[in-house]
């Protein structure tokens, strides 16, 4: 097996083990492979090892990979997980399958208006700021229900759930506590009558804590593709 294939298998094993520990069914946690900064060849290799969902932070970088990998398009699912500015919504609406980082209505309205009619609705998650981190993206917990109601009403979007990126905490219990805030918000929005099935929580370093707090989708980069030298411009 290739190195990426081996690393993918290790991440799958971690997810399976975390589900056993949490008393959860492993089928309830999806793996999103975060391929930002890695080339199309790395995505192709992961795909050959059975991975179909990929996350990208930077719109242009994602678009370039989607184009290079057009031959695999029918079996790939592309997720935009980075902050999204309003002047970048059109290509995202036209080429991605999911957006995890909706933090204001204006972005959602543009995505809905720009989603081509021949494609299924764009799957979206609201990014929530559960730890009040300064200059952090994400809607505050207080505003999340109103935003969820407004987004759920948009015709070309399908609201799937919430995404959060809490600050790294010193230990498992503290990390889990931050993730549990996102889970509580997720449950309260569901109780208000909005159907949600996705809680996008957890990365390479903290996926076990996220799964113990109810994550249904972990976004994993480093543990699959290796370290990133630096954040690209």
Ligand X SMILES: *Cc1c(COP(=O)(O)O)cnc(C)c1O
Exposure string (b/e) for 97-129, b if CB count within 10 Å is 16 or more? bbbbbbbbeebbbbbbeebeeeeeebbbbbbbb
Of 11 and 196, the one with the shorter C-beta distance to ligand X is 11
- The nearer residue to ligand X, 113 or 169, going by C-beta atoms, is 169
CB of 71 to ligand X, least distance (A): 26
Least gap, CB of 70 to ligand X (angstroms): 24
How far apart are the C-alpha atoms of 3 and 225, rounded to whole Å?
Answer: 9
**Residue whose CB is nearest to ligand X in the complex, by number:** 221
* Residue 40, token pair as written in the block: 């199309």
Q: What is the rounded distance in angstroms from the CA atom of residue 127 to the CA atom of residue 100?
A: 6
- Provide the total of helices (H) and of strands (E) in the chain, helices listed first: 9, 8
Contacting positions for ligand X (CB under 6 A): 34, 36, 57, 81, 165, 203-205, 219-223
Q: Shortest gap between Cβ of 204 and ligand X (angstroms)?
A: 3
As measured in angstroms, the least distance from the Cβ of 118 to ligand X is 29
CB nearer to ligand X: give 31 or 69: 31
Q: Cβ of residue 172: shortest distance to ligand X, in angstroms? A: 16
User: Residue 154 or residue 210: which is nearer to ligand X going by CB?
Assistant: 210
CA distance 114 to 130: 29
Q: Identify which of residues 149 and 204 has a Cβ nearer to ligand X in the complex.
A: 204
d(CA 45, CA 3): 9
């Amino acid at each position: 097996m290739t190195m990426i294939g081996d690393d993918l298998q290790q991440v799958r094993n971690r997810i399976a083990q975390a589900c056993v520990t949490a008393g959860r069914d492993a089928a309830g946690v999806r793996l999103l492979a975060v391929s930002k900064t890695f080339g199309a060849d790395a995505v192709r290799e992961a795909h050959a090892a059975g991975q179909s969902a990929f996350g990208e932070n930077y719109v242009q970088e994602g678009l370039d990979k989607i184009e290079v990998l057009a031959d695999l398009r029918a079996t790939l699912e592309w997720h935009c997980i980075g902050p999204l500015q309003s002047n970048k919504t059109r290509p995202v609406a036209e080429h991605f399958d999911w957006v995890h980082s909706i933090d204001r209505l204006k972005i959602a309205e543009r995505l809905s208006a720009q989603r081509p009619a021949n494609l299924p609705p764009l799957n979206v998650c609201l990014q929530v700021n559960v730890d009040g981190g300064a200059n952090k993206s994400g809607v505050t917990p207080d505003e999340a229900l109103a935003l969820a109601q407004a987004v759920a009403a948009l015709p070309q979007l399908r609201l799937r759930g919430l995404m959060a990126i809490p600050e790294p905490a010193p230990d498992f219990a503290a990390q889990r506590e931050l993730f549990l805030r996102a889970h509580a918000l997720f449950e309260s929005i569901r109780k208000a009558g909005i159907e949600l099935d996705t809680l996008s929580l957890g990365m390479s370093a903290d996926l076990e804590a996220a799964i113990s707090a109810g994550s249904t989708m972990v976004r994993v980069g480093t543990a699959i593709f290796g370290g990133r030298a630096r954040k690209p411009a």
